[in-house]
Structure 1
């Protein structure tokens, strides 16, 4: 039996999730859609047999024919829709950010805690990428000793016109922030942001690239190079340095070719190419959990913690100083690990 999923927001990522739910994954059908651009939502609904077009996200959440909700609308709207889902007792998959501010995330955590069960999963898809999962398994296994450092890079070839300077941290580095918490099962304790020479390709007012230095509670240091004008490709890198060895992501999206004294491999063109299988695995995991009436994946607490670290990172960018990360006490609902 398929679960009926409502999708709020059918822009680029929303339409990609509609395609995924309809043609790639099992156990779900898109039963309802809405978007601030109703003409766009209407066009999407037209290709989905039996799908209902709703005028608002609130109406979609209230639809008794919708079992669970995917929120892929503009970030500042997430809080409203996630809170509506929690109030309705419906499981919700929310693309990051859970909400753009600490206070908004806290309202979601409070609502879910009051409900007494987890209903929210946040879309940090790197946790479902095969390479990241293999890296975590090796680190957690202890065979190469305790982790000391992690080197990471998030290089976008370019970004859309709506992209702001703050989004280098909030939209790009946030993925590495979540990976760091998940990789080492602990919180980030402090953030420092360094500003190297600005790229000539950077938009006016942008500090691009940035070097974001995270300190975890146990003292692991994670440096994240964040660039949004790399030009050549979508280049994601990660290496964990431990006491007795290192483990790193592959640098190639496909086969590595060696011939005639040369070494070559493909670098992904964009985030969709690099993480398509991770997106598939992530959403299938959520669908399976909804069908089984259980929770899974990155929680509202994970969304809250990532947002707080991003806010702290922006404070560090502006102050030029090391800024401590201050989190509220974690509710028992979310366990003890990141």
Structure 2
């Protein structure tokens, strides 16, 4: 960090997510600046960096990590590229905020976990931004009071207007349900032990060959069940909802009733159309919290164990989708620093 304590951040990946994080760090977050932007597309990296004073552009992540003024790394590149960048960042002992997934599979996520353990301290936060959403935070706080008793079931709905053209049936789990996997673990305080994926009739609006929607059932070591309706071509809006059923009551979030109008014989509101609208505040709080913690020399958000656990659950989920039936989740022993 420079003399003023400002954190110089290298943003890896200049696509939609990376460019949004560049804007966020430059215009919204305090205590940090964008020192470098990296993308395999040189023109895209240069275009995003050009909007930030004193920001350099690179096509090679290794060159950016070694550049002057880079104190931390925000990884927003595609998941398959994460492992190489994360290992390089850990080799430099740099703090990292890595968008989910930590890595696309459990084996590579475990390698990141082992590399971080070798440092002797935490360095990586994983971008499960729902932990910073105001509604999810209130639900978590309510559950921790114990007023509703033990959680028995968690119902989740995750709907998108339309899926990207490259989306596969497996990606409904690895790229979308991954959020509910982490939310289940975080809200309930349980590890997920098994996954079952049911396949209703595919929507006529789903691209050919895409199994959409899917219904995912997660079993936990605390005895609770969590189910996820994932429907990425619903056509009408972006919805993320959750309802927890406890021994002495229920609690629900995500109804989106912040503004309700009544006019011309009708009442209603609007539905968000994508994640950038629904979770904009959560992303702002997440990055600000990461910057603040990093400047204190701490890691306070979801870490490498959470990223590894999510990867292992999603891997089991993809197997359940492919082969049918119930698939057990095989987790490594949780290291002491992550308990």
Q: 1:286 and 1:292 mapped to 2: Cα distance? A: 10
User: In the alignment, is residue 193 of structure 1 matched against residue 207 of structure 2?
Assistant: no
Q: 2:186 and 2:262 mapped to 1: Cα distance? A: 35
State the SS of the aligned residue for 1:238.
strand
Counterpart of 1:23 (choices 17, 21, 27) is 27
Q: How far 1:126 sits from its partner (Å)?
A: 0.4
Q: 1:260 and 1:73 mapped to 2: Cα distance? A: 47
User: In the alignment, is residue 79 of structure 1 matched against residue 91 of structure 2?
Assistant: no
Per-residue CA deviations over 1:280-303 (Å, capped at 9, x if unaligned) read 000000000111111110101100
Q: 1:88 and 1:110 mapped to 2: Cα distance? A: 15
8 A Cα contact 1:150 1:241, kept in partner: yes
Counterpart of 1:95 (choices 90, 99, 110) is 99
Instruction: Quote the residue 2:108 is aligned against.
Output: 104
8 A Cα contact 1:174 1:306, kept in partner: yes
**Pairs within 5 Å for 1:51-90:** 51-90=55-94
8 A Cα contact 2:239 2:254, kept in partner: no
| Cα-Cα RMSD | 1.2
8 A Cα contact 1:169 1:314, kept in partner: yes
Instruction: Quote the residue 2:208 is aligned against.
Output: 204
State the SS of the aligned residue for 1:166.
helix
User: In the alignment, is residue 139 of structure 1 matched against residue 143 of structure 2?
Assistant: yes
Q: 1:261 and 1:145 mapped to 2: Cα distance? A: 42
Structure 1 stretches of 4+ moved >4 Å: 258-262
Counterpart of 2:244 (choices 240, 246, 266) is 240
Q: How far 1:161 sits from its partner (Å)?
A: 1.0
The count of aligned residue pairs is: 335
Q: 2:271 and 2:141 mapped to 1: Cα distance? A: 24
Q: How far 1:258 sits from its partner (Å)?
A: 4.8
Per-residue CA deviations over 1:19-54 (Å, capped at 9, x if unaligned) read 000001100000111101011001111111111122
Counterpart of 2:319 (choices 295, 301, 315) is 315
Q: How far 1:140 sits from its partner (Å)?
A: 1.4
* Cα distance change on mapping 1:34 and 1:253 into 2, 3 Å: farther
**Pairs within 5 Å for 1:30-45:** 30-45=34-49
Q: 1:257 and 1:328 mapped to 2: Cα distance? A: 51
Gaps of 5+ in 2: none
State the SS of the aligned residue for 1:33.
strand
Per-residue CA deviations over 1:39-97 (Å, capped at 9, x if unaligned) read 10011111111111223011111224200001111110100111111111100110011
Q: How far 1:162 sits from its partner (Å)?
A: 1.7
Gaps of 5+ in 1: none
Q: 1:257 and 1:217 mapped to 2: Cα distance? A: 43
Per-residue CA deviations over 1:195-238 (Å, capped at 9, x if unaligned) read 11110011121111000000110111111000110000001111
